[in-house]
Amino acid sequence: MGSAPAFASVSEAMDMARAALGYLAAADATQLAAQTQAECLRGLEQTDAISTAARAGFLSAFTAGQGYSADADYSPRAWLIHKTRVSKGAAVAHAAWARRAATHPLVVAALATGELSESYGRTICQWTDKLPEDCRGAADAILLSAAQAGMDLRDLAGLAAEIYERSRPDLPDEDPARAFEDRGVRLETTFGGAGVLTGDLAPECAAVVGTVLDALSAPAGAEDDRTREQRYHDGQADRAEAQLRAGVYARLSETYDAAESVPTQLERGTDHARRRGWAVTATFKDDGFSGFKEITRDGFGELIAAIEAGAVDVVIVRDIDRLTRNLTDWNAFEKACVRHGVRLSAYTGGDLDLSTAEGAYYGGMETLRARRESAVKSARVREAQDREARKGRRVGGGQRWFGYTRIYANPDEPNHKKRHIVREEINPVEADAIRDAAVRILDRGESVASIARDWTARGIKPVAAKQWWPTSIVGTLTSPRLAGLREWQGKKYPTTQWPAILDADTHERLVRLFADPARRKNVVRAPAHLLSRIATCPKCGNGLQYRRHGQINRADSYGCVSGPAGCGGTAIKAELLEEYVTGAVLDALESPRVQEALREGEDHHAPRRAELLAQIRDAQERQEEARRDYSDRVIDRADWLDIRQRTEDAIGAARREYDRLAGSATVMSDIPPSERVRDAWDSWSTDRRRAAIRAVLHRIIIKPLPPGANANVAGNSKNTALRRERELAILRRRVELDWRV
Ligand SMILES: [Zn+2]
């Protein structure tokens, strides 16, 4: 408060505050007039706000200086609870305000003036906390000025929601001025020469007109007995006599696809002035190249100078956000306009009177949105990349892509960065390895580790790294570019710029396989033992792990590992179990019934999946088209939102069905004929054998030893054949095969 009364010390001020509030608390309110009571209630709300701001200042300083630790408290909150004897809730609220002293300085400053209540201030902070950090201060300023202009909490919430929407850079423009297509004002002349003025005004235009009429038509004094309508009329007459002087401002575009050149902007602005009956007295332009690289803003500076000199009454621009992307510039412009009653008029639609709350925050918001758009990256670069991506074009150089050979125009250039890329050609060896790996993983259930071993053995190396890791194999195999897709901001665009190595269906199935944590675990880190996690403990349901025993007399086993993952209640000798299961699986694989079932189980969902992928692509294309039509104003916002919703629904439904079908693909679509099954088995790796077991068996349940049976069934018998026979007999009673086929 600029006019804060002088106190000798802080403690004297505290004493006075306590004394003043004590006086109010002791006053007999029942004896006071209602008007006085109302005054006190308003005043107390203000003192609450002011004391909140004061406490925030003291507490944030106290926190920064760790003043609380002098009292052996470990946090300002604990200190408040112990030393000021407040509840935890109150301490939390105080600490929140102390933080806001730094994060929302404008709000705290508004509290200190008593012009904003504590609860409004807190609500505004909670809203703007949801915004990107760099937008927060500007959003606070907009909401505060609207609140101080008398906007109630519900309308403030709407405004905050709009700011939130606008702070998200990926939304298509929404210009409320354009949404009001029916706007218009008609002036009809009657027989007597009198005029009839009627019109449909857009809400913001109505607000501006109302404010302007009020300003021009204020009662001329106590004797002025004209009606409001009469004053409005006379005000218009006064206004019409003095023709407004317009200044047109043009700036080079960075973001518009159909950019208007600076001369075109000046020409259209001048036409706009003529239509409105204004005289163009000055033009200002900035042809600087980019809004983000510190360009000189001479034209903008001259414009503000002209406003300050009282040389223009209205500023004409293409779009409100064409003025500036810099909030400091905007504030300077706004101040000058408010001081001199200058109006802002966009020839694409919408006038703005910056002296009204609506005008000021709309203008501020446009600046905020424009700034947000350009914040991270140059919008020109972004748009170019975006357009290229949508067309499926590649950008930039970078590393050679695994699977491709890069063709350079100047391959002998020693500086890599100066080599000009002509195109990517398929590298036959690597492309074959990729296709082979996709089949082995998707259709044969092999693990990524075995692909890595195989590629390493064959001398197929990654592009930059020394060796393959499971994650680099997964990354390579799931890269959209292998399917001829260009990925941009989470979306994939088909391209013909380079040849595809995998078809889209295979790509999607691989992506889904590795995206599913349960399936990924099996594929990426497959256990090295035949029945690990396939053999199951019936007591806890967990898969058994292979256990190696170092002692000579004890055999390796599969066991349930005790701990969070298992009960530790099951164990069985590994060698005999593997032998028994292998025999059973081979018998099954040789049987004509299983052979037929596995062949029938060949991926019969493939045609449907291809259909679904085509549907998804089609819906994406329709959405893309609608987005273009909306940005070209061929369709309106309602149509765009409707099309977006419908295409999203279609994409979602197709994706869900695709996911279901992609997840159910049966492994073992390449089962060898019956007579070759055993030979094939011998040549297979453990991975491949495990995949074959899983193709025919859900799981293998290892039941407890039957009552009366002894694990060491053969005792010390030297007759190995007999011992084996007895062990197998018990094993058969313990092992339950849960067949899939
Ligand atoms: Zn268990």
Three-class DSSP labels, 2-15: CCCCCCCCHHHHHH
User: What is each CA distance from 329 to 145, 301, 306, 335, in whole angstroms?
Assistant: 18, 9, 15, 10
pLDDT in tens, 521-550: 666 665 668 998 889 999 888 888 888 776
SS3 content of the chain, % helix, strand, coil (to 5): 55, 10, 35
Size (the chain), residues: 741
pTM of the predicted structure, to 2 decimals: 0.38
Six-digit token pair at 624?
């893309």
What pLDDT band is residue 5 in, cutting at 50, 70 and 90?
Answer: low
Instruction: Give 654-698 pLDDT, tens digit per residue.
Output: 887 887 776 544 456 667 888 899 988 988 878 788 888 988 888
> How many whole angstroms from 716 Cα to the centroid of ligand 1?
30
Q: What tens digit of pLDDT does each residue of 595-627 get?
A: 888 877 666 777 888 888 888 888 888 888 888
Q: How far apart are CA 345 and CA 248, in angstroms?
A: 9
Centre of ligand 1 to C-alpha 544, Å, is 8
10 Å Cβ neighbour count for 252? 18
pLDDT of 135 higher than 90: no
Neighbours of 377 (CB within 10 A): 13
Distance in Å, CA 448 to ligand 1 centroid: 28
pLDDT in tens, 395-410: 556 778 899 988 887 8
- Distance (Å, rounded) from C-alpha 311 to C-alpha 336? 12
Output the CA 543–ligand 1 centroid distance in Å.
8
pLDDT of residue 711: 60
- Distance from the alpha carbon of residue 537 to the mean position of ligand 1, in angstroms: 5
* Distance between Cα 552 and ligand 1 center (Å): 26
Cα of 580 to ligand 1 centre, how many Å?
21
Instruction: Tell how far the Cα of 620 is from the centroid of ligand 1, in angstroms.
Output: 49
Note the pLDDT of residue 555: 79
CA 557 to ligand 1 center in whole angstroms: 14
How far does residue 733's CA lie from ligand 1's centre (Å)? 18
Task: Please tell me the distance between residue 563's alpha carbon and the centre of ligand 1 in angstroms.
Answer: 9
Q: How far apart (Å, rounded) are the C-alpha atoms in residues 207 and 353?
A: 9
Instruction: State the distance from the centre of ligand 1 to the C-alpha of 567, rounded, in angstroms.
Output: 4
- Is the pLDDT at 214 greater than 60? The verdict is no
Largest Cα–Cα separation, the chain: 132
- Distance (Å, rounded) from C-alpha 631 to C-alpha 135? 25
Please give the share of the chain, as a percent, with pLDDT higher than 90: 16
The Cα 455–Cα 463 span in angstroms is 13
| 541 Cα: distance to centroid of ligand 1 (angstroms) | 6
The pLDDT value given to residue 22: 92
